[in-house]
Structure 1
Amino acid sequence: MEAVSEHVAAFRRFNRYFTRRIGALDDHYLGQNRPLGEARLLFEIGDGVPLRELRARLGLDAGYLSRMAKALQAQGMVRLSVHPGDNRLRMIELTPAGRVEVEEQNRRADALVRGMLDGLTPAQRARLTEAMTSTERLLRLAGITVERVDGAGPDARATLAAYAAELDERFPEGFDATDLVRPQEVSGDAGAFFVAYEDGRPVGCGGLRRLAPGVGEIKHVWVHRDARRLGLARRILAELEREAVARGFDAVRLDTHSVLTEAQAMYRAAGYTEIPAYAEHVYAGHWFERRLRRTGRPPAGPTRPSPPPTWPAARRSGG
């Protein structure tokens, strides 16, 4: 607990310094006549966007966003309208005056950052850039949640469809989506299915099913291209392993295709040992196993309920 408190204190100290240094607390951000909230909103509008999408992207309360949008409209910075193809969507776009302000905002922001970097050597700038990139990756990972969901639910179906589409592109022989696990194999007593969410959007998945007494099988560990290189696949894998322990499994196994070299490297780094084939599977080129330590952790939280959809029959499927 003491070490955690040190991390919290360091995080808050950096946050206070950085927000003050870039002028986030100033009512006239970058010397312009508006606070940071309005300036950020203008920047994010770009070439026009639905208010609903903007709200999700920035994590803003609907009422707060509406008030800011109306204030900017009154100033002649933005234009509000209804989407021509869907009258349920309200759109926001920059006016010519708004575009001029955003261009000036970008110019001033670039000048502010250049001024901050001028005091550093080239090597120090490189270190700072590397540190900020690493910080962004870790903050994104920290903000992602991994939740157990209904194996027949819409998010499970959507992530598996995306997984299958990618494998179909990567495998020389293509990929048949009927090879995916069936919902009943990763639900209830038979298994579990997890989905990773970033800002409410599904960005990864993984399943666990019973393979034999005391042995579970990990299936379809996948991360969206936009969320890779964060360590998310390892986090999903760890969640599946914890679920396996909670279900009383002594070991977990998996198979993977020969072209998925990055997956093979991850499994080896996570402590998996390559073993002989434990089942016939058309897409499998490598088979792995990991012994588990009992921790007594209870199963993950409640699943998201969903009516069961129709699902094609599955053959033995690969990870």
Structure 2
Amino acid sequence: MAAADELAFHEFEEATNLLAQTPNETTTRSDQLGPKGHVAVAMDSGGSYGAEDEVEESDKTELLQEEKPQPGFWTFGYYQSFFDVDTSQVLDRIKGSLLPRPGHNFVRHRLRNRPDLYGPFWICATLAFVLAITGNLTLVLAQRRDPSIHYSPQFHKVTVASITIYCYAWLVPLALWGFLRWRKGVRERMGLYTFLETVCVYGYSLFVFIPTVVLWLIPVPWLQWLFGALALALSAAGLVFTLWPVVREDTRLAAGVLLSVVVLLHTLLAMGCKFYFFQPLPPEPMASPHQATSQPPATMLPPTLPRSVAA
């Protein structure tokens, strides 16, 4: 019987006694051995149950938020999420538009399925004001070089620039999104960006023209054209690299025509801004000194006699 007692597991007996004394506490087994080779059993208080309850409550809250219905597009709350971005995200997306790389999709790597309207809105507004201001400054500088040029503030350029930029940044993406949606019905393997993703891509692609417009104030024509060509190449390349993963599943003819039209419209926008906002006014015709001093010859009237002589 002594041998049987030596083979008994005294550790389990100790654990059973501890559980009987504190039935509401949890036990955790430790691999460390006690001083007599016994297994140590740690007793925990009931504090862990509160933590588990908090985790469960947070999970329930997240589920309720996901099940909450989305507001309609006619409400302010629907558009509030598209302006919920921080400065780092906007700067990261601007950096991606300035440094396009083949195989680096702007929508997947920069937007990450979270397009915003904050960046495109302010980029278009800044570009419109910069175009109007630099266009007026160009005339001021031209008047200093040539006094025959008459300058007057042209406030209508602000309106023209705003309408042009915002229409381009909204109507062209709308037409492009509609065309890609139609082609997806024909070619089911084609991908498709959402309308807001397309607007976001076009909005950020216009950022490179803001510093370029400022550099157009340099009175060196070949430098102006060099900066304009570089900005156009970077902006158009970003659009092509972003659209290529979508249109490559289409036919070669459709993909080539679509990308060519995208680049052509971008080129027309840049050329139109260059020729309209940065062309000085022609000098006003000035009257020659001979024309200014010449007067019509005076009509000689016959001399009149005094009344007494006439009588």
Report the TM-score range of the alignment, normalised by the length of the smaller protein: under 0.3
Give 1 or 2: higher helix fraction.
2
TM-score between the two structures when normalised by the length of structure 1: 0.24
Q: Which has the higher strand share?
A: 1
Q: Whose radius of gyration is greater, 1 or 2?
A: 2
TM-score, normalised by the number of residues in structure 2: 0.25
